[in-house]
Structure 1
Amino acid sequence: MQHAKALIDNRNPAVQIGLTLAAAALITLGAKIQVPFWPVPMTLQTLATLLIAAALGPRLGLAAMGAYVAAGMAGLPVFAGSPARGMGLAYLAGPTTGFLIGMALAMVVTGVLARAQGWAMTAVALVAGTVAIYVPGLMWLSAFVPADQLLTVGVAPFILGDMVKIVLGTMLLQAAQRLRG
């Protein structure tokens, strides 16, 4: 899949900054659309992350995630459940930080794999990105949840939603590719 640079000359620093900030805003919007679970809420943030990575590539995707996390660290209520679940560094001391780390990793993994053409490779890129979110997420969550409950709390409630996000993301990215011609 071709990245956004096919549509926009993203070599221009002003365009890069604009795309990065717009993508960080999309990540924030995705974080705010949620189904409350404990200790990790189900959000559309992962879908936003995967779409951004596939569309903008690993470099701008990672920059967007960095801008998002920086805004949260500065105390802006961008994280899922903030301000109720904490703000700034206090939020990052909680159970969801590993998933934020995983989203940064997913920007790279998905962004690189999504360069390949075709719906199957797009789906593979989104699945790999989802796995990249889960691995550090579960590692971090293990400090908050007993080991025998980790998969029950950190994976099981999210599998169906993540499968739907992967299918939806694949369809959206393929539709965008067809529109680009």
Structure 2
Amino acid sequence: MSNTPETTARTTEATESKTASTARRVAAVSWKPVLFAVLMWVSAAAGQIPVPGTPVPITLQTFVVMLAGLMLTWRQAGAAVAAYLAAGAAGLPVFAGGASTMALVGPSAGFLLGFLPGVVVIALLKGSKDSKGKSASILTALRYFAAAFVGGVVVVYTFGILIQSTLTGLPVAAVTAASMAFIIGDIVKAFVASLAAAGLARLR
């Protein structure tokens, strides 16, 4: 049976509606990774604190990575970090000090590359938000802190220290000792990020 004008119009309308619905879903899923990728760049561009004995400065990037892992799905969080690293690899000055491609083969390369597995681990370990109540909020914050610590500190620093040791020829113990100021600072960041993410989860 041939299509009537009414049938054709309905089919066209259904196709347009489906396309619009798909576009809305894609937009709803993609804006968060884009936002956190931009926040990672802003946190690197906003300023850095040099640490004696190491060529890697302190920035708020790990804090943003922790928040991304705690507030996004593992796919969204991974996409955010992957987009950030891809922008730097493409030559955009998104890394600390306005660096780009060369930072991925320099002393801080391991820490940057470690952000990707680190953020995925955080997102996978955080679990779901506990039910309402003060004790539930505390448990959520503790679980978030554990996830941020494992992914944002243990995983990132394992990559960072091992790769920096390989690139510079310094012993792992020496690189670890030079990184202690970062590690302590990032443990504090993990604590703050877990409280912030738990509080936002409770509001949602």
Q: 1:17, CA displacement in angstroms? A: 2.4
Please list, as runs of the form range in 1=range in 2, the aligned pairs for 1:22-101 lying within 5 A after superposition: 22-32=35-45, 33-37=47-51, 38-83=54-99, 87-88=100-101, 90-101=102-113
Return the match for 1:103 from 87, 101, 115. Answer: 115
Unaligned stretches of 5+ residues in structure 1: 1-10
Please list, as runs of the form range in 1=range in 2, the aligned pairs for 1:101-180 lying within 5 A after superposition: 101-117=113-129, 118-129=140-151, 130-142=153-165, 143-144=167-168, 146-147=170-171, 148-153=173-178, 155-180=179-204
Unaligned stretches of 5+ residues in structure 2: 1-23, 130-139
Mapped to 2, the partners of 1:73 and 1:159 lie a distance apart of 26
Return the match for 1:16 from 29, 33, 40. Answer: 29
Mapped to 1, the partners of 2:29 and 2:203 lie a distance apart of 22
User: Which amino acid counterpart does residue 149 of structure 1 have in structure 2?
Assistant: A
Q: 1:145, CA displacement in angstroms? A: 5.1
Percent identity between the two aligned chains = 35
Mapped to 1, the partners of 2:28 and 2:123 lie a distance apart of 18
User: Which amino acid counterpart does residue 160 of structure 1 have in structure 2?
Assistant: I
Larger radius of gyration: 2
User: Which amino acid counterpart does residue 187 of structure 2 have in structure 1?
Assistant: M
Residue 19 (structure 2) aligns with:
none
Q: 1:91-129: CA deviations, max 9, x gaps?
A: 211011111121101111000111244121111101111
Mapped to 1, the partners of 2:197 and 2:169 lie a distance apart of 35
Mapped to 1, the partners of 2:176 and 2:41 lie a distance apart of 26
CA-based RMSD of the aligned residues comes to 1.8
3-state SS, counterpart of residue 41 of structure 1: coil
User: Please, what TM-score do these two structures have when normalized by structure 2?
Assistant: 0.76
Q: Number of aligned pairs?
A: 166
Mapped to 2, the partners of 1:39 and 1:127 lie a distance apart of 23
The answer to which structure has the higher helix fraction is 2
User: Please, what TM-score do these two structures have when normalized by structure 1?
Assistant: 0.85
* Contact preservation (8 Å) 2:70, 2:194: no
* Contact preservation (8 Å) 1:54, 1:111: yes
3-state SS, counterpart of residue 67 of structure 2: helix
3-state SS, counterpart of residue 177 of structure 2: helix
* Contact preservation (8 Å) 1:122, 1:170: yes
Residue 4 (structure 2) aligns with:
none
